[in-house]
Amino acid sequence: MTSKTAALTSPQNIIVASIILAGAYGLYASSQYSYLLFHSFAEIFSIVIAVSIFLLSWNARRFLLNDYILFIGISQLFVGLIDILHTLSYRGMNIFLGYDSNLPTQLWIAARYWQSLSFLAAILFINRKLKPGYLFFSYTFILALLLASIFIWNIFPVSYMEGVGLTPFKINSEYVINIIFLCSLLGLLWKKERFSSVVLRWMILTIVTSMLSELAFTFYIGVYDFSNLAGHFLKIAAYYFLYKAIVETGLVKPYALLFRDLVQSEESLRSSRDELQRINDQLTEANKKLLEANQAIHAEMEVRQNAEARLVEYAARLESSNQELERFAFVASHDLQEPLRKIIAFGDLLKGKSVQGLNESEKGYLDRMISAASRMQKMIGDLLELSRVTTNGQPFEKVDLSHVVSEVVSDLEVRIQQAGGSVVVDELPVITADAIQIRQLMLNLIGNALKYHRPDVPPVVCIRGKVEQNGKEKAGQIRLEVEDNGIGFDMEYLEKIFEPFQRLHGRSEYEGSGIGLAVCKKIVERHQGELTAVSSPGSGSIFIITLPLNGIRREK
């Protein structure tokens, strides 16, 4: 079985596919009971996704180096407004009295023109800077003219005639809209290097499904016909793909949308540094031969000095880039919490007001959206915690490790009693360090030892420490060991466990986000120390920390 096949048949994907099929069946069943009910559900789904896309892109606009996403987000807000009017004007809603089925058809075709033209225009802002205020003003003015042409002046072309069906204008418009979508797809492929492969794939599916939806809307005669039903199902699919491209990717994997260009710049800078290092190494070897040629010594030494100066400059720029990325991640993660709170609040509001009209599948959709946003809020909090290690560090001072560990054990007393475990602490020395971070380090390591214990085996945690006296490299350092009798792990995963958001066990087995050990490693590295572990499955683990005893790091 290939890796792709294994991924497709994973339990998570099977569950998602089952939920989607159940939801589709529920929508189809609702259409048989009341087509008006089905139509309302389909449009509300697309409207919620459109508003979510706007909220995410608007709140992250300061960090978007590619304004294509911001343009799409703003346009989706206006498309959602028109779709709301389309939903309220649908035959049977009895809100806009005196109008027949021509009104919702006109609003539908207007929204699709707006969406397709916006997808095409957004291509222009992949490499250009967008001024959101101008776009808002322009779109508001155009929307006012559009609604006036439909509701006041009655000059918008007739799109549907009772007893006849779709007018030539409406049918031809669907084909024109598909041509516009096709042009936007070609433009997206032309600029594909500016997008991550995941986002690009979902955007392509969004556009292709939207085109199929428009084709379906060219065949119906009555607004309750099967082709109309199929068109709405395809529209739901298109907005689901758009959700996967922007909302889910932007929340669960924010670096795919926000930090991609910065990461590429850092990789390019690192490549240049490696090249300069290679040149410098070659120059070092060449100097052995150049010493025999007195006339060439000075010239070659100048070349080497220039190369070393450039290497130092690039190293400084790389360090600055790393610090900028850390600050950027901190600020971006902080600001992304606001749209998350809004998505959770809007989801709760929608669930509270619409719960009587939703079936179990649709309630499940709302619950999944709220749950995903809440889980991402926790992940962003963990990302902030990781960023604070380097951005909010405190000056080094004398720290009594025995006192720190005693406080941590006191804080974890309830968990220790619940697990029936114990913590044994040897006498520990005093070091020079960041007191807050050392406390966080011990809290994470002891907390993990209590969490990952074997079933029916009370956890026992032993904490030892000694000052290294022998050896030039180890002299003046302290070696701390945190040993447990828990589930352990295979040593082939040693590097993986210290990476952010990496887990060896599912959330159903052990709770957590996988950020704790990454924070520990960051803290130890900030103190110019080392963190490693020795373990085997079912035999417990020993986490080994080596730290300078006298705090050789000097804070700036």
Would you state the structure tokens that stand for residue 527, as one six-digit string?
């103190």
Provide the edge-to-edge strand list for the sheet that holds 422-425. 422-425, 460-468, 477-484, 541-548, 530-535
Pairing mode of beta strands 422-425, 430-433 = unpaired
Residue 535 lies inside a defined structural domain of this protein: yes
CB 485 within 8 A of CB 473: no
Provide the 8-state DSSP code for 160. E
Mean pLDDT along residues 357-370? 71
Task: Please choose, from the candidates 405, 386, 398, the residue with its C-alpha nearest in 3D space to the C-alpha of residue 333.
Answer: 386
Task: Determine phi and psi for 479, rounding to 5 degrees.
Answer: -110, 115
* Angle formed by the axes of helices 35-59 and 294-354, nearest 10°: 150
Last residue of a domain, one of 211, 233, 258: 258
Secondary structure, 3-state, 275-328: HHHHHHHHHHHHHHHHCCCHHHHHHHHHHHHHHHHHHHHHHHHHHHHHHHHHHH
Judge whether 29 lies within some domain: yes
Q: Are residues 198 and 310 in the same domain?
A: no
**Residue pair 93/34 in contact by the 8 Å Cβ criterion:** no
- Asked if residue 346 is part of any domain, the answer here is no
Q: List, for residues 186-213, the tens digit of each pLDDT value.
A: 999 998 887 778 888 999 999 999 999 8
Residue 272 and residue 128 share a domain: no
Name the amino acid, one letter, at 174. Answer: E
- Same domain for 183 and 284, yes or no, is no
Same domain, 66 and 210: yes
Q: How far apart are CA 373 and CA 317, in angstroms?
A: 36
Give yes or no: residues 319 and 441 share one domain: no
* Residues 155 and 236 reside in one and the same domain: yes
Alpha-helical regions (H) of 355-412 = 360-391, 401-411
CATH code of residue 244:
1.20.1070
In this prediction, residues 511-519 reach a mean pLDDT of: 75
Same domain assignment for residues 163 and 241: yes
Domain with 277, as residue range(s), is 262-323
pLDDT 10s digits, 439-486: 989 988 998 888 888 888 899 999 999 887 665 555 678 999 999 998
Task: Assign 554 a pLDDT band (cuts: 50, 70, 90).
Answer: very low
Domain count for the chain, please give it. 3
Computed over every residue of the chain, the mean pLDDT equals: 79
For 263-320, the pLDDT digits (tens) are: 566 676 777 777 777 777 676 666 666 556 655 666 667 777 777 777 777 666 666 6
DSSP-based three-state secondary structure for 52: helix
Check if the beta carbon of residue 423 is closer than 8 Å to that of residue 464.
Answer: no
pTM of the model: 0.49
